[in-house]
Amino acid sequence: MNDIEIDFNGADVIFEITRFCNMECPHCIRGDIQRKRIKKEYINEALRNFRYIGTLTVSGGEPALAVDLMTHIREACNMYEVSYENFWMATNGTITRPAFFKELEQMYTNSDDNESNGLRVSIDRYHDNIDI
């Protein structure tokens, strides 16, 4: 039986880096808060299959609580020579640590198409108001 080669290049990739969150929104599609994080070796193994990613999505839980994993994804992309067109992320907007914003800046800088990156802050009728 022959191996089938699949060309993953140009595909969109989503890494759910954590299931942990600092909020407990009753409508959350992730369910109850879990103290789980993706293992770095899973990130590495996935990225070895790519040379080019369309949209690189980082999700959670709350991604801002796992900045080290955001950094690892970006550095692994560099290490494996994987480029990405753009990145997308959603956050609840309550974590305002400088390291988070610095990593967002790095991900923005590393993307091929800076004009199509996306950051969504969940400010809607389902969330408590936050001070920005």
Q: Cβ contacts of residue 103 below 8 Å, gap of 6+?
A: 67, 70, 71, 74
Phi, psi of 13 (to 5 degrees): -125, 135
Total number of domains constituting the chain: 1
pLDDT (tens digit, 9 = 90+) per residue, 10-30?
Answer: 899 999 999 999 988 877 878
Q: What is the pTM of this model?
A: 0.86
User: Is 85 within a domain?
Assistant: yes
What is the rounded average pLDDT of the residues 119-129?
A: 74
Q: With respect to residue 24, please indicate whether it lies within any of the assigned structural domains.
A: yes
Note the pLDDT tens digit of each residue in 40-59.
Answer: 999 999 999 999 999 999 99
Q: Give the residue numbers spanning the domain of 116.
A: 13-121
Residue 126 lies in a domain: no
Amino acid at 48: R
61 neighbors 21 (Cβ within 8 angstroms): yes
With 60 as the cut, is the pLDDT of residue 75 above it?
A: yes
> Residue-wise over 82-102: b if at least 16 C-beta within 10 A, else e?
bebbbbbbbbbbbbeeeebee
